[in-house]
Amino acid sequence: MMFGVLLIYFALLLLILQIMPKVKTNRVNYPEGWELIEPTLRELQAKMREAENDPHDGKRKCEALWPIFKIAHQKSRYIFDLYHRRKEISKELFEFCLDQGYADRNLIAKWKKPGYERLCCLRCMQPRDHNFATTCVCRVPKHLREEKVIECVHCGCKGCASGD
């Protein structure tokens, strides 16, 4: 008799728990090793905010975005180097940084491929963004260029070809 009452009680309790909404918190669980990279990422985020709020008087429309692209590249390269080159952070922390938007997952995926180790941004390799369906001028190796000083229109890069 007592066992049947307990069984009904637990069944009702499970039913109530399934109906009630789960409590969500805004707190993020940071993986182990986060405290090592957090100061650098916070510093880069502060630079990003400063670049976003910087007045762009006297600059061309495209030049106003160049500092933002540069800082985004720095953040992604920092996390990429920590995981792939120096092996100082765990895979869990690397994936956490990608999921939280601290680094560009697609840009890092390109850096792993041969010929794209120094790619500055994804727009520079997309043919639809350029004349004659080619890649950006910054992707041309320096020894093959006619002009020696060149800046990319999209991100301000002066050369990200792997052969440089």
Question: 104: how many CB neighbours lie within 10 A of its CB?
Answer: 20
Helix axes 66-80, 91-99, angle to 10 degrees: 160
Cα 88–Cα 94–Cα 100 angle in degrees, nearest 5:
140
Structure tokens at 8: 């009904």
pLDDT digits (tens, 9 = 90+) for 12-50: 666 565 665 666 677 888 999 999 999 999 999 999 999
pTM confidence score: 0.79
Residue type, 158: K
Chain-centre distance of CA 94, in angstroms? 11
8 Å CB contact between 89 and 30: no
> In this predicted structure, what is the pLDDT of residue 15?
59
